[in-house]
Amino acid sequence: MNPTVLPTAGFFDGPAKVLENISDHLYGDLLAWLLIAAGLYFTWRTRALQLRLFGQMLRTITSSRGAVGEGMSSFQAFTVGLASRVGTGNIVGVAIAITMGGPGAVFWMWLVALVGMATGFVESTLAQLFKVAHPDGTFRGGPAYYIHKGLGSKTWASIFAVVITFVFGFAYEATQANAISNVLKGTFNIEPWVTAIVLVLITTPVVFKGIKRVAAITEWLAPLMALIYVIIAVVILVLNAGAIPGALLSVFEGAFGANQAFWGLSGGFMAAALNGIKRGLFSNEAGEGSVPNAAATATVHHPVQQGFIQSMGVFVDTIVVCTATALIILLSGVYDPATADVDAAGTLTVNSVSNVLGPWAQYLMAVVVFVFAYSSLLGNYAYAEVNMDFLRGMGRRHYGVRAMIVVAAALGAVASLTFVWNLSDVVMGLMAIINIIAVLSLGKWAFGALRDWEQQQAELQAGLRDKIYFVATDNPFLPAELPGDIWTEESAVQRDLDAVEVSAE
């Protein structure tokens, strides 16, 4: 399959370049280092929970499929987050990172993910602690809510809500649509305007049915596509097992600019670092402030449970899926730093797979990319709706945002790759800065909840209690009384009763 550059690309060249310059300064001067520093700090304060409690994270996911009451199950909230995480960032994003920063960019994606697991735990636990009840029986929460309730700033909470609504109601939707358009053009020669019409037709009915409909679809769609993609990657790795050490060596050599042959288009250490961090953040979303919106919707007995689950989501997204993509590209023989073209990165992964497995594989990969991007498009809607609930009040139907998502899907299908990705980078960066500052300020609440869970877990293992549940009232581990009535003794009893009813059914 030949590299694809959409015919409208030239129209967007000027704006794309301006956005790229803004993005480079935003990440290079501030955000990249803020993300790493915050991740290291949270790793220290949680005593590296991403390592010592890794098994507990797995157990929490496998035991969380049942919903409690009218709310979403913990597993459903995880899959909504996974649907947004596992998408074009894993396929197109990794290809862009390698094209622009060389194989070394993959190392920086790993680093962001490993420390980001701690960040993801903290922000998702905060989302659970400060969530509020929705009239339909579900919950709403996320950075806008914990900034307002935890820091007492309605102004900054509203600013964040506006930014994230634009990010997930427009910028990210355009990015997903662009990925679909590129792969359909490259594989089936379908014109972008046709893709735009199809996306409008298949997106409108789903987003206008609301967040529960999105959860019902992503619950099976996202894990299924992730599994298929990982199987493809495993087959390619087995067929090229002898070349894997060389591919990994190129990652480490390129990470610090040690070998010019492994530099991307931008060249050197900073190119590898910045592109790896940008694409890592876009893909796993740790610290960005997006996934907490999904984490808050889950009905759980303890806030830490959802923190565990969303932390594992960072691992699955980057360490598993993104690494698989990187190795596919590096082992295929298609990637060449000397001739790499960022506008053709949208089909680099698909070309790599078909080069190893044969021409038939491009059709399977086209389906995988389509479903990845489409499930992300739906998962993104959930985040926009949560923040519109904050801005406009609970119980309203946010038809304006739903219409904006449909428009973004159409526009993204005909825009250039560099324009939509640079736009996403800039607005994502602004959103992440606000969120990281808030999470650093409120981290003590998550650390307290973790200590509460660890004490209860120790008592459970010692036979001193038969279950774990969280009550915020007079909790000695929390820095103050938690506002709201979600985590009272009465609500804990009600969750137990709801859980019994679910088990009986």
Q: What is the pLDDT of residue 119?
A: 95
- Looking at every residue in the chain, the average pLDDT score rounds to 82
Q: What is the amino acid identity at position 197?
A: I
Question: What is the percent of the chain with per-residue pLDDT over 70, rounded to a whole number?
Answer: 81
Q: What is the pLDDT of residue 216?
A: 63
Q: What is the pLDDT of residue 505?
A: 44
Q: What is the pLDDT of residue 396?
A: 64
Q: Which two tokens stand for residue 87?
A: 């998408």
Q: What is the pLDDT of residue 50?
A: 94
The residues, any chain, with a CB within 8 Å of residue 500's CB and separated by 6 or more, are none
The residues, any chain, with a CB within 8 Å of residue 442's CB and separated by 6 or more, are 126, 146, 150, 151
For each successive 10 residues of the chain (505 residues), what is the average pLDDT? 51 78 80 88 96 90 58 62 64 83 87 92 96 82 94 94 92 90 89 93 78 60 73 89 89 71 53 75 79 84 91 86 88 77 74 89 86 78 80 71 90 89 89 95 97 95 88 93 85 53 43
Q: What is the pLDDT of residue 268?
A: 57
| Residue 239: how many other CB atoms lie within 10 Å | 12
For 142, phi then psi, to 5°, come to: 135, -170
Q: What is the pLDDT of residue 342?
A: 67
The residues, any chain, with a CB within 8 Å of residue 238's CB and separated by 6 or more, are none
Q: What is the amino acid identity at position 381?
A: Y
Tell me the per-residue pLDDT of 373-383, one tens digit each, with 9 for 90 and over.
887 777 777 77
Q: Domains of the chain by range and CATH?
A: 9-504 (1.20.1740)
Tell me the per-residue pLDDT of 385-431, one tens digit each, with 9 for 90 and over.
778 888 877 556 677 888 898 999 999 999 988 888 889 889 989 99
Q: Return the residue matching tokens 């730093």.
A: 337
How far apart CA 214 and CA 212 sit, in angstroms, is 5
CA distances from 225 to 57, 195, 218, 367 (A): 22, 21, 10, 9
Tell me the per-residue pLDDT of 100-124, one tens digit each, with 9 for 90 and over.
888 888 898 898 889 999 999 999 9
Tell me the per-residue pLDDT of 8-40, one tens digit each, with 9 for 90 and over.
556 667 777 888 888 878 877 788 888 889 999
Q: Which two tokens stand for residue 95?
A: 């290809």
Q: What is the pLDDT of residue 336?
A: 77
- Give 477: exposed, middle or buried? Use CB within 10 Å, 0-12, 13-18, 19+: middle
For 140, phi then psi, to 5°, come to: -130, 150
Q: What is the amino acid identity at position 279?
A: R
How far apart CA 344 and CA 308 sit, in angstroms, is 37
Contact 100, 282 (CB under 8 A): no
Q: What is the pLDDT of residue 502?
A: 42
